[in-house]
Each structure stands twice: as structure tokens, then as C-alpha cells.
């Protein structure tokens, strides 16, 4: 019950499954023809059937000179042309050749984006801490709460700051509002002409980029066949590339590509993302678990659970099958997590002795990015202790007689998978991300849902606009379109809000 894929070793022997269960899951995978489904994605077919789009994130890490066809066109040359454009800027910034409007070197990069235009690069930037240039720091602003931008601009010199406005659509209100505020901050301290040297855009929408006031020569393109949550290997990774340099970024892409090949070629039980998917399906279907924790024993991977929340939950938090009917089974569980060992002193109590069973993915490394073998031993042995305690528990006979005896019983049989690698290199990180991307894909195929749309976020966006538009004439007009709870909360907000609204 261990699979090796690239540098990863995936041990699922502490899951609550036996050989019979595995055989049935593999039959299920065959019945759903997961291999052909993966091949259809690899051939650039429009498998995102509700939006009529191809799903081409694997093209983003296809080596130069190889091919990936979408609608009959090889997109690899276009992918590499953008990667080269990114590498040129990244190198120029790192060498001090690209400077701000006053001639000062760029020392700070502020990525403004949300969802896939934030979580991927923010997570990878933290994860590759050991590879980063000490001369350039990146900050990530996503929340429309003005406190986010304010906190991240604190201490920055505008003359040394590059803003990256990252938005696939370039219509996302939070990102555009923050980008406008950042622009005002810059212009108020430098001048209007400085925008050209201090703003670049990452987007599929050249027209909107131009409209915002960023020259499209400072735009890094990607395409509608790249889903936001799959976009970190695209232009969306620019901040990371500036921080770690093109070479390390290409190693990261190489790791992803390695896992793409593995997912395509490894059959049945040897296929790591497929087995991860099947075990997750077993846990939701057979054990009826409704959440899954991902606990990296790695400080550098601390943003990985947040990244996975979007990848998995925005992809597979669906309940409509391809034929339009409602699924009669559970789909994605809630994904959550925090790094170990911190979690041990917070939520692990419930995972050991609570009434809910929560399957866990533990992730650990033999070597830390920081140079202290003894604390790293402590870290890794704690990971093993947790998974062992969860699996085997402790029964009452092993506990000395005392009034608290029954409280100290651990039932055991709490499932976990342990994913390990020698160290968190760029290639290993790429492998890990692609492992989860493909397991998410396989889950979606088996559940017969579309993992690549996100209609579930649309209603909230629409209602935010409707509710926002009532603010201007709220006290002078009736608003029968609002339910009474929303109406009351809005009047409370108007009464208490900051009074600096124009």
C-alpha cells in the first residue's frame, strides 16, 4: 500500500481499506473509464462541458519543443513565448536592469489577485523560501478589505515597488478595486507616468488591461483553457519567478510535468493520483466522512491547505451530474488544515477522540529548508506519532487504573495517508501540486461532475452588486427586493459605517 511517483512516496496503509475494497475501487475506476477521460484532457478536448472549454493546464508545463494540441493548434510555442517574456522580466529585475521610474532597483513585488490568481503564487512563494533571492520580497494582496492593501503597503517605497495585477478575467471587482487603490498610492507619491514602470498585468483580457491603464506591452498573457485554480504554472506564477529565478521556476514546471506523465502512464494501483482519488471516494462513500484534513509537517508548506481548498472544493463541490441530474451520493468533503506540529496543540484532540472521523493527508520531508537536523527529526517523528496514534489507538487494558482511565482510550482506526519526499525542492512541489490536481480530476470523473466550472460563486457576486446598488438611495426608497434580515443588517451597517464615503 505504498506508491512511488517521482520523488514522492505515498503510503496509504493506514487507510481503512483492504485488498477487497481496493479491487472494487479499481473496478469503479475502470467502469468510469478514467484513463480515456484523462487522455481526452491531454488531447485538448472541451471537457469543461458547461463552459465549452478545453482544460489545458498540462500544456503550461509541457517541455519546449513537445506538443499539446488545443482545437488542433499546438499551444506549446505560445506557452513558451510567455514563459520567455516572464523570464526576461524576472532576470532584468533580479539583475537590477529593470528599474522603477526614478531609476531605483525593484526590491518589492506586490501581487494583487484573488482565488487562483493569489492562492497558487502565494503558496508557492512561501514553499520555495529556500530558493528566494534575499534582495526581493513579494507580498500578496487579495482581500477587498482595505486593511489588506494597507498592511501590505506598510513600509514599502513606491520607487522600489512593482505591482502585478493578476486576474484571468480582469473583471474581478475585488482585484480591480485593490489595483485602483494601489495605483492611487503610487501616483500620489511618484507621478502618473510612473504607472508604466510600476504596473504589469497577468490576464487573458487585453482590452480590460488597456482600459485599466496598463500598456499591453506590460501584459503577460494566458488563455481561457487555463482554470484559475490551475493557473500557477502560467503567467500567474510571475511573482514566484521573480523571487526564485527562471531556472528554479522551470524545475517547478518540470516536477509538474513529471507527475502529468505519471498520471497518464501508470496503470491502476500504480497510479498515485488515481489511488488518492479512489481512497477519498472510499472515505466519503463507505466511511461517510464529510471533511478531510491536509496537514503538512512543514512550515514552508503552511499555505498548502488554503491552496488545496480552492483546488478541490471549487472543482468538486458540485451536485449536478453531466446529464443534469442531481448526484445521489456525496461528492467532495470539506478540505481544511494547518501545519504540524501546530495542529497537535489545537485541533488534533478532536481528530483522535472526537465523534467524527476525519481522514488526513500527512505530508512530510526528510530534510528541512532550515539547517537544523535535530528539530527536523522532532518534526518528522511527531508526524509518525500522530498517524500511528490515529491508526492503532490505545485500548483500556494498556492504561493504568485511574478515574480518568476511560477518557484516555483512543479508539484508533482513524484513516490517514502519508506523503513523503526527501525535501521540498521546486521539482517536488511541482509533483505535489500536480498530484492533487490529477486526483481532483479523477474524483470528478468518477462522480460524473464537471470539475472545471465554478457556477457556485456566481450568485454571491450578483447579489453583492444588487445589494451594493441599494446603498445610494437606501434611506429614501423602499427596497422590497431585500429580505427582512438583509434589510435590517444593511440599515445597521449604514448607521455604523465609516462616514468618509463620497
Whose Cβ is closer to ligand F6P: residue 11's or residue 224's?
A: 224
Active site residue 318: no
In the bound state with ligand F6P, the residue whose beta carbon lies nearer, of 457 and 472, is: 457
Alpha-carbon Rg for the chain in angstroms: 24
Least spacing, CB of residue 466 vs ligand F6P, in Å: 18
- Among 48, 131, 161, 175, the residue binding ligand F6P under the rule CB under 6 A is 175
CA 217 to chain centroid, in Å, comes to: 28
Query: CA angle at residue 469 from 463 to 470, to 5 degrees?
Result: 95
DSSP 367-433: S-SSS-HHHHHHHHHHHHHHHHHHHH-B-GGGS-SSTTGGGG-B-----EEEEEES---HHHHHHHH
Does 168 interact with ligand F6P (rule: CB under 6 A)? yes
**Grid coordinates standing for 71?**
482545437
The pattern of x and - marking residues 447 through 466 that bind ligand F6P according to CB under 6 A reads -------x--x---------
- For the bound state, the minimum distance from the C-beta of residue 227 to ligand F6P, rounded and expressed in Å, comes to 7
Nearest to ligand F6P of 87, 165 (CB atom): 165
Phi, psi for residue 186 in degrees, rounded to 5:
-65, -50
Q: Which of 345, 407, 477, 496 is catalytic?
A: 345
Write the burial class of residue 138 (CB in 10 Å: 0-12 exposed, 13-18 middle, 19+ buried).
Answer: buried
Q: Which residue's CB is nearer to ligand F6P, number 232 or number 259?
A: 232
Q: How far is the CB of 167 from ligand F6P (least distance, A)?
A: 3
Residue from 126, 174, 251, 314 carrying the catalytic annotation: 314
Q: Show contacts with ligand F6P in window 314-373 (CB under 6 A).
A: 314
Compute the C-alpha angle 230/418/398, nearest 5°.
Answer: 150
Part in contact with ligand F6P (CB under 6 A); list of ranges 29-37, 62-70, 169-177, 349-357: 169-177
Cβ-contact 90, 230 below 8 angstroms: no
**Residue 459 Cβ vs ligand F6P, minimum distance, rounded to whole Å:** 12
Judged by CB under 6 A, the number of residues near ligand F6P is 14
Could you give the C-alpha distances from 288 to 15, 28, 284, in angstroms and in order? 14, 18, 5
Q: Which residue has the cell 482590452?
A: 207
Q: Which three cell numbers stand for residue 402?
A: 485511574
Of 83-91, 113-121, 136-144, 388-396, the window that binds ligand F6P (rule: CB under 6 A) is 113-121
Our CB check for ligand F6P shows the closer of 375 and 461 to be: 461
User: Closer to ligand F6P at the Cβ: 139 or 229?
Assistant: 229
Residue nearest to ligand F6P (CB): 228
Judged by CB under 6 A, which stretch of 108-116, 288-296, 444-452, 462-470 contacts ligand F6P? 108-116
DSSP string, 16-48: S--HHHHHHHHHHHHHTTHHHHHHHHHTT---B
Nearest approach in angstroms of CB 222 to ligand F6P is 10
**Diameter of the chain measured on Cα atoms:** 78
Q: Tell me the closest approach of the beta carbon of residue 467 to ligand F6P, in angstroms.
A: 18
How many CB atoms sit inside 10 A of residue 290's CB? 14
DSSP run (H or E) holding 120:
helix 119-127
Please report how many Cα atoms fall inside a 13 Å half-sphere around the Cα of residue 458, on the Cβ side.
4
Annotated catalytic residue, options 43, 67, 288, 461: 461
Going by C-alpha positions, the residue among 195, 254, 274, 349 that lies closest to residue 37 is 274
Q: Which is nearer to ligand F6P, 314 or 443 (CB)?
A: 314
141, 218, 136: which is closest to 179 by C-alpha? Answer: 141
Q: Does 116 bind ligand F6P (CB under 6 A)?
A: yes
Sketch the per residue contact string, 278 through 317, with ligand F6P: x for CB under 6 A, - otherwise: ------------------------------------x---
Choose the binding region for ligand F6P from 67-75, 90-98, 161-169, 347-355 (rule: CB under 6 A). 161-169
Nearer to ligand F6P, 6 or 227 (CB): 227
Show Cβ contacts of residue 204 under 8 Å, excluding neighbours closer than 6 positions.
Answer: 168, 169, 170, 221, 222, 223, 224, 226
Q: Which of 207, 197, 387 is nearest to 297 (CA)?
A: 387
Find the binder of ligand F6P among 169, 218, 319, 470 (CB under 6 A): 169
Residue 108 annotated among the catalytic residues of the structure:
no
Part in contact with ligand F6P (CB under 6 A); list of ranges 43-51, 114-122, 320-328, 407-415: 114-122
Binds ligand F6P (CB under 6 A): choice among 35, 117, 271, 417: 117
Quote the least distance from Cβ 214 to ligand F6P, whole Å. Answer: 14
List, in sequence order, every beta strand (DSSP E) within 75-156: 108-112, 137-141
Residue 440 C-beta-side C-alpha neighbours within 13 Å:
25
Would you call 345 a catalytic residue per the annotation? yes
Enumerate the active-site residues: 314, 345, 461
Name the residues that contact ligand F6P, by CB under 6 A.
Answer: 114-117, 167-169, 172, 175, 228-229, 314, 454, 457
Amino acid at each position: 500500500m505504498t506508491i512511488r511517483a517521482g520523488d514522492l512516496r505515498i503510503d496509504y496503509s493506514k487507510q481503512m481499506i483492504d485488498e477487497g475494497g481496493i479491487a472494487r475501487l479499481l473496478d469503479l475506476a475502470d467502469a468510469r473509464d478514467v484513463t480515456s477521460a484523462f487522455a481526452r484532457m491531454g488531447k485538448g478536448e472541451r471537457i469543461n462541458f458547461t463552459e465549452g472549454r478545453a482544460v489545458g493546464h498540462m500544456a503550461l508545463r509541457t517541455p519546449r519543443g513537445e506538443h499539446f494540441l488545443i482545437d488542433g493548434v499546438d499551444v506549446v510555442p505560445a506557452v513558451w513565448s510567455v514563459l520567455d517574456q516572464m523570464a526576461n522580466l524576472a532576470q532584468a529585475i533580479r539583475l537590477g536592469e529593470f528599474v522603477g521610474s526614478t531609476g531605483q532597483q525593484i526590491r518589492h513585488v506586490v501581487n494583487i489577485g484573488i482565488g487562483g490568481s493569489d492562492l497558487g503564487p502565494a503558496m508557492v512563494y512561501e514553499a520555495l523560501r529556500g530558493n528566494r533571492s534575499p534582495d526581493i520580497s513579494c507580498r500578496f494582496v487579495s482581500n477587498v478589505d482595505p486593511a489588506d492593501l494597507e498592511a501590505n503597503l506598510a513600509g514599502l517605497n513606491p520607487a522600489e515597488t512593482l505591482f502585478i495585477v493578476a486576474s484571468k478575467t480582469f473583471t474581478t471587482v475585488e482585484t480591480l478595486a485593490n489595483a485602483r487603490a494601489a495605483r492611487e498610492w503610487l501616483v500620489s507619491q511618484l507621478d502618473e507616468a510612473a504607472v508604466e514602470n510600476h504596473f504589469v498585468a497577468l490576464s487573458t483580457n487585453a482590452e480590460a488591461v488597456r482600459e485599466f491603464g496598463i500598456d499591453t506591452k506590460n501584459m503577460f498573457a494566458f488563455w481561457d483553457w487555463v482554470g484559475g485554480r490551475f493557473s500557477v504554472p502560467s503567467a500567474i506564477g510571475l511573482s514566484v519567478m521573480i523571487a526564485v529565478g527562471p531556472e528554479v521556476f522551470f524545475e517547478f514546471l518540470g516536477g509538474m510535468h513529471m507527475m502529468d506523465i505519471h498520471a497518464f502512464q501508470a496503470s491502476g494501483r500504480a497510479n498515485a493520483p488515481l489511488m488518492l482519488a479512489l481512497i477519498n471516494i472510499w472515505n466519503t462513500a463507505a466511511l461517510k466522512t464529510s471533511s478531510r484534513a491536509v496537514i503538512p509537517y512543514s512550515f514552508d508548506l503552511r499555505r498548502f491547505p488554503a491552496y488545496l481548498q480552492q483546488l478541490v472544493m471549487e472543482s468538486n463541490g458540485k451536485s449536478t451530474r453531466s446529464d443534469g441530474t442531481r448526484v445521489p451520493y456525496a461528492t467532495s468533503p470539506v478540505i481544511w488544515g494547518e501545519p504540524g506540529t501546530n495542529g497537535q496543540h489545537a485541533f488534533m484532540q478532536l481528530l483522535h477522540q472526537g465523534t467524527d472521523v476525519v481522514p488526513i493527508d500527512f505530508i512530510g520531508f526528510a530534510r528541512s529548508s532550515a539547517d537544523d537536523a535535530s528539530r527536523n527529526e522532532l518534526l518528522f517523528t511527531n508526524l509518525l506519532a500522530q498517524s500511528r496514534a490515529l491508526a492503532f489507538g490505545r485500548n483500556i487494558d494498556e492504561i493504568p487504573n485511574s478515574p480518568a482511565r476511560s477518557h484516555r482510550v483512543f479508539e484508533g482506526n482513524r484513516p490517514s495517508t502519508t506523503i513523503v519526499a526527501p525535501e521540498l525542492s521546486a521539482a517536488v512541489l511541482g509533483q505535489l501540486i500536480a498530484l492533487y490536481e490529477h486526483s481532483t480530476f479523477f474524483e470528478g470523473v468518477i462522480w460524473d461532475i464537471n470539475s472545471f466550472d465554478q457556477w457556485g460563486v456566481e450568485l454571491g457576486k450578483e447579489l453583492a452588486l444588487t445589494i451594493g446598488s441599494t446603498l445610494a438611495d437606501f434611506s429614501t426608497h423602499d427596497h422590497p427586493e431585500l429580505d427582512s434580515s438583509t434589510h435590517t443588517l444593511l440599515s445597521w451597517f449604514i448607521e455604523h459605517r465609516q462616514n468618509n464615503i463620497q
